Amino acid sequence: MKSVRKIKIDLPLYVFVSKIRKKWLTLNSYRNWHYSVSNNCKKKFKEDIRSSLDFKLIGQVRIDYEYYAPDKRKRDLMNVISVIDKFFQDALVESGCIEADDVSIVIEVNSKFMGIDRENPRLEVTITNI
């Protein structure tokens, strides 16, 4: 029987593209960005999480996201999670943490709203080797 291995990482909801300008990683923003802005945000996101990607999972995985909002505004959960999920799965593959980000490896993705955390808004991700 295989042992189940879980990795937990806090992911940012935005990246700083300059010292004072930040870009929120939402689908609404993403669809309006020029491709070069999108590429720069993706590179910055990968740089910001690189130190957390020091593992390797073999075989299939499940990814669970828990979203902690910065304030009480109502948001579409997938608007917040979709772009970060895309950037994160690409980073997992490029870092060698998982073999691929297609359905042969990533067989389940879940998301859950966890409430408001004004001090530390974030997207917590748990990757489970199954």
Global pTM value: 0.92
Q: Decide if pLDDT at 37 tops 60.
A: yes
Distance between first and last Cα of the chain? 11
Bridge partners (DSSP) listed for residue 109: 63
CA nearest to 12, candidates 72, 78, 73, 65? 65
Whether the per-residue pLDDT at 18 is higher than 90: the answer is: no
- Tokens representing 12? 């940012």
Separation between Cα atoms, residue 89 and residue 81, nearest integer Å: 12
Nearest alpha-carbon partner for 129 in 97, 82, 94: 97
Instruction: Specify the pLDDT at position 19.
Output: 82
Q: Which CATH class is domain 5-129?
A: alpha beta
- How high is the pLDDT of residue 4? 59
pLDDT at residue 118, rounded to an integer: 96
pLDDT of residue 1: 39
Give φ, ψ of 117 to 5 degrees: -135, 90
- Mean pLDDT within 40-61: 96
Strand 61-69 with 106-116, pairing: parallel
Q: What number of CA atoms fall less than 13 Å from residue 23's CA on the CB side? A: 24
Nearest to 123 by CA among 93, 72, 82, 74: 82
Q: How confident is the model at residue 72 (pLDDT cuts 50, 70, 90)?
A: very high
Cα separation, 11 vs 67, whole angstroms: 10
